[in-house]
Chains A and B, each alone.
Chain A
Amino acid sequence: SAVISQKPSRDICQRGTSLTIQCQVDSQVTMMFWYRQQPGQSLTLIATANQGSEATYESGFVIDKFPISRPNLTFSTLTVSNMSPEDSSIYLCSVDLAGMHGDTQYFGPGTRLTVL
């Protein structure tokens, strides 16, 4: 498996501001993913982030709202821009260790965001 950390673990933010969430992995991985888990709900994929290319966003998610960086093979950031209370969720990053463990994704501990 992999050791995945996220910062911050939680935050409370004001409406209209932006928050950048960091995801760090202890090994080099090609594919990283960002998910949103709204209160009491399942996980929804926001985007796939491959190093050296633009992130691929799922339907309903746009780059202006959720810009993603992937500067190297161990790190990625997700920014939640111009936040509203509807953005209150847990945001999780995951990595695909394909080639080491097949097609399994391993998840970080999540960032719990509350927007007032």
Chain B
Amino acid sequence: GNSVTQMEGPVTLSEEAFLTINCTYTATGYPSLFWYVQYPGEGLQLLLKATKADDKGSNKGFEATYRKETTSFHLEKGSVQVSDSAVYFCALSDFTGGENKLTFGTGTQLKVEL
């Protein structure tokens, strides 16, 4: 079956530091890949997505590239801010059988300090 593996958290960084959150996946088909973000006390927001190999998703300074050869979709940001503190979820979408089912990673908590 499908699975998503994320790096363990929490990740603590100083403001303006470079961020990488690793995500690898296992899928039987050709999934779409997503990063969702959950700010404290809120629901999930779509951060970015990529639907095929070598696609790069980007939003709010965050980027992730769909790497089929390494089955990875690592999230990066060049300079984090305190407001980026949240839990980040990597997910894949499998459209098998005509239903769009999301498989989530365990989430990585990011804490950004001044």
Contacts and interface: CB of A to CB of B under 8 A. Distances in A.
Contacts of A105: 46, 93, 100, 102
A49 to B, nearest CB: 11
Contact of B43 (A33, A45, A96, A109): A109
Please indicate which of the listed interface residues A31, A90, A92, A104 has the most CB atoms of chain B within 10 Å of its own CB.
Answer: A104
B66 interface: no
A107 interface: yes
Interface residues of A, number: 24
Interface residues of B, number: 21
Nearest to B41: A112
From B32, B44, B45, B104, residue with most partner A Cβ within 10 Å: B44
A106 B93 CA distance: 13
B45 A107 contact: yes
A109 B39 CA distance: 11
Contacts of A109: 42-43
Given A43-B44, A105-B93, A98 B106 contact: no
Given A41-B106, A42-B106, A42-B107, A102 B45 contact: no
Given A103-B32, A109-B43, 11 more contacts: A33-B102, A42-B105, A42-B106, A42-B107, A90-B43, A102-B32, A104-B49, A105-B93, A106-B46, A107-B43, A107-B46
